[in-house]
Amino acid sequence: MVRRIYHKKSSKVPAVLKLIAFVAVCALLWLVGEKVVSYFGFNPQKINENSMFKNTTFHADVKEIITRDGIKAYYLRDTNNPIISISFAFENAGTAYDDKGELGMANMVAALLTDGAGKYDSDAFKTILEQNGIVISFDTDKDDFSGLLKTLTKNQKLAAKMLKLVLSEPRFDSEDIERVKSQFLTALQQQKEYPQSQFGLFVNKSLFGNHAYGHNPIGEASDIRHINAQKLNDFVKHHFTRNKLIVGIVGDISEDDAKRLIDDIFADLPETGMQVFVPEARIDFATRQEAMNFKAAQNMAAFVAPSVKRDNPEFYPLYIANEVFAGQGLNSRLSKAVREDKALTYGVYNYLSLADKAVMMRGGFSSTPENFDEAKKIVTQEWAKMGAEGVSEDELDAAKGYLLSSFNLRFADIDNISATLVAMQKENLGKDFLLKRNAYVQAVTLEEVNNAAKKYFDPQNLVWFNLISVQSK
Amino acid sequence: MNKKWLKYLFLSVAFGSFLRIDSSQAKLFDVEEFYLDNGLQVLVIPNHKAPIVKHMVWYKVGAVNEPVGKGGMAHLLEHLMFRGTKKVKDGEFNKIVTENGADANAFTSLDETAYHEFADLSRLELMMALESDRMQNLNITQEAFDKEQKIVYQERKQVIENNPTAYFGEMMQRNLWQEHPYGRPVTGTPDEILSLTLDDVQAFYDTYYAPNNAVLVIAGDVDSVAARTLAEKYYGNIAPRETLKNIDFPKLENISSTKTLMKSKDINTSRFVRSFVVPSFSQDKKMSYALSVLSAYLGEGETSYLYKRLVKEEQVAVGISTSYDFAAQSYGRFSISAVLSPNVSSQLFEDKLNDAIKDAMKMLTWDELNIVKNKMLSGIVYLKDNPNDAAYIAGGFALAGMNVDEIQNYDANIQAVKFGDVQQAAKLLENSISAQGVLMPAKGD
């Protein structure tokens, strides 16, 4: 169309006019060209540069507070809503610390604590919480026993009283114990129905053998049947102690009130209890294939490899290498290769697992049997390529781009923030971690990332576990 | 206020989930609403706790809009929306989103399809540019179509068919809804997925993806003035489409109840489900609030009537819960789900459940009703905290047919439910289409 106009203008006109026309046409072309580019092109950088909102790093000024009774906690004031969230953990009281013959104990305690305390039976206790918008919940992982208290600022005194009662005078009424036992035994039965659960148990057992990390995360049926009120109370006495306690508090509460609230809840806990020793897990990373059969719609793969602890100087470099390899979204090398390009699976992942007694990289995917070997082959190739070639400057920039520009997203949820304050203390990251974290990321060099990639993405240290689907159990 | 350890106990069979508010005072959120000239509805929920924002576009189209035999089309299209437009080629969407630190995803249900990005405030405009681009410029190549068809097939295998109760769940859905499109699985069946074509999906996009068939939700560190400017800038020039079709949902008038007993070698514990076809919010607002209160009274949480009676006292179940799905264009659904105690027969459980429901309605007092309502509302202020929650709830409520006043005054409308309304709701269950099913272990076969 442009050419046609040009032709029309080009006949029987003086040179000067031709020149003017030429200039005019060039201007027109330029304008049209600009339109064409803006129509067909999409320029993220330009959109960001012209954005109404500029990048603002959220300044999370976490304080370390020490209460009158000497309890240390991390505290962040957030007055956006009249609510308070307290996360806490008793370290080294998780499922791996259950005594032999009592596997399931930590979970049973977590389940039963909100079934009444002091003079309130289960129903009375739960009704008080519900009627006042108070959330008290407990959870376990392999390492720690954790808890959450969430309350409206106006109900903080009642909330503190109820949590204190739970930690000091749990009831463990026999009818509640029996009910929760039957729920756990049912959960164990259901665990046998799901291929994903069975595969998880198989991987745990193969990896950790007799180490406490190899236990069934729910517990053992024969042990659960023998748990009684005395044993539950012993657990509380042994583990709910000030020397194991970590506390993070966030919300619409002043520093002085936060200190008082923490004392009201935790100050009367005994200073020490019982220390249980769990050794480091010794894991054989020599490359191999292990397999189980199960009736399922897909095969499943899990792969593990050596990694580093959170305080190791190689942590950030390896973390960034893995961000390129298998990080967020569908843009990672692994997601592109196995899912986006070859459509072999719905999803593939790999992450740095940071349990206290075993760090490793853990990945996995599932796919129908006809795709399975090809998907495994591609993961192995990508693994070897990462080890041999590392990442490019562009990939490093992109990974840092993600880690830096996603930083503020962690401040969406008050319970996540209080849990982060607990994690910062557990990992000894310091109260200024949230102010320094982006600098840590920025400081990582290409050489550091590629050295870590070379060391840890080693095909000789990549162990595979497979669930092979069969027609019947 | 569910216990976290319940993560281990699979209480429900594989049904679709839905929004449930567990527990408020004061307005649910401050929601500001406006419409663009092209018909796009915009909801803004300011939340200034951090420089972050949730951006969501909800299209009023889902699996119910699929022609018979073309199951899974809405969901496959949802996947293809990440596969390139005339401006942003295949692979670029995911790359841009990731490099800018955003979490982007989407979901499809029976009635709706939603796309969402959670991002730093400085990236809001970029997210709006990407999302408005794919509202109008989707470009599906055959290559991308072929791959994504295989991926959704794998998704169905992984998410649905690897679950040993999925077959039972889908059967119960068909039994309840019969010829109504709510009886279809959102994913489509494996055969349907593999029979879809690019033309099918392109036609679906051309018919339903338009600003006048969508709701834009922005929750986070913005005010409504800025939000309006940006909504105009990015979405204002997209032309509305006239081709929207309203579905004639079948009227379900023959009151019937079916009972199914299914035995499976793949399971070890018995599950019980009883579901009822009941009015949704869009069909009967007053009844909808009453059904929400009834569900909270009967089976939400461990202080609920059925839990105390059947789990704690009579010990015929190890877990029981009720739910009411009010968010639907057509009918709503009320469900009771339980895991039976070992050695309890389905007949014994059914008798105990029927007695318990009768007694529950006899025992309900004015005081008890107030306790239930307060349980539902006492913690509602927590929903103001996380902008992700606000966006999901406001968007979901808007698509369920709630206007801004109804969204903001959710708590007042629950408070207004009267004693007689709850009794009527319970009566309604007795005279509704229902489907009951028990999934039992097949031992020694």
Going by C-alpha positions, the residue among B72, B57, B241 that lies closest to residue B152 is B72
Q: What is the DSSP letter of B53?
A: E
**CB pair distance less than 8 Å for B301 and A347:** no
**CB pair distance less than 8 Å for B382 and A130:** no
Residue of A48, A50, A330 for testing the chain B interface, max B β-carbons within 10 Å? A330
Residue A300 covered by a domain:
yes
A289 CB contacts (<8 Å, ≥6 apart)? A464, A466
d(CA B103, CA B332) in angstroms, rounded, equals: 31
Going by C-alpha positions, the residue among A246, A292, A286 that lies closest to residue A92 is A246
* Pair B269, A184: CB distance under 8 Å: no
Q: How many CA atoms lie within 13 A of A385 on its CB side?
A: 13
**Chain A contact set for B164 (CB, 8 A):** 193-194
pLDDT digits (tens, 9 = 90+) for B374-430: 999 999 999 999 999 999 999 999 999 999 999 999 999 999 999 999 999 999 999
**Chain B contact set for A252 (CB, 8 A):** none
* Pair A71, B127: CB distance under 8 Å: no
For chain B, say whether A83 makes contact (Cβ under 8 Å).
yes
Name residue B45's beta-bridge partners.
B219
Which chain A residue has its CA at the smallest distance from B80's CA? A340
**Chain A contact set for B439 (CB, 8 A):** none
Is residue A318 located within the same domain as residue A445? Answer: yes
Is residue A211 located within the same domain as residue A317? Answer: no
Residue positions of B annotated with a catalytic role: 78
Burial string for B1-31 (b: 16+ CB within 10 Å, else e) reads bebebeebbbbbbbbeebeebbbbeebbbeb
**Chain A contact set for B102 (CB, 8 A):** 405-406
* Pair A351, A363: CB distance under 8 Å: yes
**CB pair distance less than 8 Å for B98 and A129:** no
B225 by Cβ neighbours in 10 Å (0-12 / 13-18 / 19+) ranks as exposed
Helices A105-112 & A174-191 angle (0-180, nearest 10): 120
Residue A258 covered by a domain:
yes
pLDDT higher than threshold 80 for residue B322: yes
**CB pair distance less than 8 Å for A127 and B303:** yes
d(CA A342, CA A337) in angstroms, rounded, equals: 6
Q: If DSSP states are collapsed to H, E and C, what string results for A132-148?
A: CCCEEEEEECCCCEEEE
**CB pair distance less than 8 Å for B151 and A339:** yes
Is residue A175 located within the same domain as residue A250? Answer: yes
Is residue A243 located within the same domain as residue A315? Answer: no
C-alpha gyration radius of chain A: 29
**In 10 A of CB A55, how many CB atoms?**
16
CATH topology match: B4-19+250-441 vs B32-235: yes
Shortest Cα–Cα distance, B442 to chain A (Å)? 13
Backbone angles phi, psi at A170, to 5 degrees: -65, 150
**Chain A contact set for B443 (CB, 8 A):** none
Q: Place B28 in a pLDDT band, splitting at 50, 70 and 90.
A: confident
Is residue A236 located within the same domain as residue A313? Answer: no
Residue A36 covered by a domain:
yes
Is residue A377 located within the same domain as residue A466? Answer: yes
Shortest Cα–Cα distance, A11 to chain B (Å)? 38
d(CA A7, CA A460) in angstroms, rounded, equals: 68
**Chain B contact set for A194 (CB, 8 A):** 10, 162-164
**CB pair distance less than 8 Å for B229 and A52:** yes
**CB pair distance less than 8 Å for B266 and A371:** no
Backbone angles phi, psi at A465, to 5 degrees: -120, 140
d(CA B105, CA B99) in angstroms, rounded, equals: 15
What are the structure tokens assigned to A454, written together?
Answer: 């070379």
From B119, B161, B380, residue closest to A297, measured CB to CB: B161
From A175, A187, A398, residue closest to B99, measured CB to CB: A398
Is residue A80 located within the same domain as residue A190? Answer: yes
- In chain B, domain spans: 4-19+250-441, 32-235
Q: Is B183 helix (H, G, I), strand (E, B) or coil?
A: helix
**CB pair distance less than 8 Å for A406 and B103:** yes
**CB pair distance less than 8 Å for A346 and B151:** yes
Going by C-alpha positions, the residue among A109, A28, A310 that lies closest to residue B4 is A109
Q: Is B286 helix (H, G, I), strand (E, B) or coil?
A: helix
Residue A13 covered by a domain:
yes
Backbone angles phi, psi at A435, to 5 degrees: -85, -25
* Pair A302, A287: CB distance under 8 Å: no
Q: Which of A29-43, A215-229, B87-101, B130-144 bottoms out in mean pLDDT, i.e. has the lowest?
A: A29-43
Q: If DSSP states are collapsed to H, E and C, what string results for B192-237?
A: HHHHCCHHHHHHHHHHHCCHHHEEEEEEECCCHHHHHHHHHHHHCC
d(CA B50, CA A92) in angstroms, rounded, equals: 34
pLDDT score, position A471:
82
Going by C-alpha positions, the residue among B338, B364, B344, B359 that lies closest to residue B423 is B364
Residue A224 covered by a domain:
yes
* Pair B389, B29: CB distance under 8 Å: no
Its ipTM equals 0.92
**Amino acid at position A308, single letter:** V
Q: How many CA atoms lie within 13 A of A344 on its CB side?
A: 25
Shortest Cα–Cα distance, B295 to chain A (Å)? 16
Tell me how far the alpha carbon of residue B248 is from its chain's centroid: 21
**CB pair distance less than 8 Å for B162 and A83:** no
From A122, A175, A408, residue closest to B51, measured CB to CB: A408
pLDDT higher than threshold 90 for residue B10: no
CATH number, domain of A454, equals 3.30.830.10
**Chain B contact set for A80 (CB, 8 A):** 47-49, 385
For chain B, say whether A65 makes contact (Cβ under 8 Å).
no
**Chain B contact set for A54 (CB, 8 A):** 122
CA end-to-end span of chain B: 41
Name residue A44's beta-bridge partners.
none
d(CA A303, CA A376) in angstroms, rounded, equals: 10
Tell me how far the alpha carbon of residue A244 is from its chain's centroid: 22
Is residue A68 located within the same domain as residue A216? Answer: yes
Q: What is the DSSP letter of B85?
A: B
Backbone angles phi, psi at A348, to 5 degrees: -140, 140
Is it true that domain B32-235 has CATH number 3.30.830.10?
A: yes
Q: Is B261 helix (H, G, I), strand (E, B) or coil?
A: strand
A268 CB contacts (<8 Å, ≥6 apart)? A164, A168
Sign (positive or negative) of CA dihedral A463, A290, A335, A344: positive
d(CA A162, CA A86) in angstroms, rounded, equals: 13
Domain count, chain A: 3
pLDDT in tens, chain A (473 residues): 333 333 333 334 455 555 555 566 555 555 555 455 555 589 999 999 999 998 777 889 999 999 999 999 999 999 999 999 999 999 999 999 999 999 999 999 999 999 999 999 999 999 999 999 999 999 999 999 999 999 999 999 999 999 999 999 999 999 999 999 999 999 999 999 999 999 999 999 999 999 999 999 999 999 999 999 999 999 999 999 999 999 999 999 999 999 999 999 999 999 999 999 999 999 999 999 999 999 999 999 999 999 999 999 999 999 999 999 999 889 999 999 999 999 999 999 999 999 999 999 999 999 999 999 999 999 999 999 999 999 999 999 999 999 999 999 999 999 999 999 999 999 999 999 999 999 999 999 999 999 999 999 999 999 999 999 998 76
Sign (positive or negative) of CA dihedral A170, A174, A176, A177: positive
The per-residue DSSP string of A166-185 comes to HHH-B---HHHHHHHHHHHH
Residue A54 covered by a domain:
no
Q: How many CA atoms lie within 13 A of A251 on its CB side?
A: 29
Domain holding A138, by residue range, is 63-266
d(CA A102, CA A223) in angstroms, rounded, equals: 5
C-alpha gyration radius of chain B: 23
Is residue A205 located within the same domain as residue A105? Answer: yes
**CB pair distance less than 8 Å for B120 and A110:** no
* Pair A357, A214: CB distance under 8 Å: no
Shortest Cα–Cα distance, A368 to chain B (Å)? 7
Interface of A with B in 241-300 (CB under 8 A): 295-298
For chain B, say whether A179 makes contact (Cβ under 8 Å).
yes
Is residue A318 located within the same domain as residue A439? Answer: yes
For chain B, say whether A341 makes contact (Cβ under 8 Å).
yes
For chain B, say whether A51 makes contact (Cβ under 8 Å).
yes
A338 CB contacts (<8 Å, ≥6 apart)? A344, A345, A348, A365, A375, A378, A379
Residue A307 covered by a domain:
yes
Is residue A231 located within the same domain as residue A90? Answer: yes
For chain B, say whether A441 makes contact (Cβ under 8 Å).
no
Shortest Cα–Cα distance, B440 to chain A (Å)? 12
Shortest Cα–Cα distance, A204 to chain B (Å)? 17
Interface of A with B in 317-336 (CB under 8 A): 327-332, 336
**CB pair distance less than 8 Å for B122 and A218:** no
Residue A200 covered by a domain:
yes
CA end-to-end span of chain A: 69
**Chain A contact set for B266 (CB, 8 A):** 193, 295, 473
| Beta-sheet pairing, B41-46 with B214-220 | parallel
**Chain A contact set for B312 (CB, 8 A):** 122, 175, 179
Sign (positive or negative) of CA dihedral A409, A411, A417, A421: positive
B366 by Cβ neighbours in 10 Å (0-12 / 13-18 / 19+) ranks as exposed
d(CA A270, CA B248) in angstroms, rounded, equals: 67
A454 by Cβ neighbours in 10 Å (0-12 / 13-18 / 19+) ranks as middle
B232 by Cβ neighbours in 10 Å (0-12 / 13-18 / 19+) ranks as middle
pLDDT score, position A458:
97
Going by C-alpha positions, the residue among B29, B178, B209 that lies closest to residue B112 is B209
Q: Is B288 helix (H, G, I), strand (E, B) or coil?
A: helix
Shortest Cα–Cα distance, B292 to chain A (Å)? 17
Is residue A296 located within the same domain as residue A320? Answer: yes
How many beta-carbon pairs under 8 angstroms link A with B?
285
The CATH number that domain B4-19+250-441 falls under is 3.30.830.10
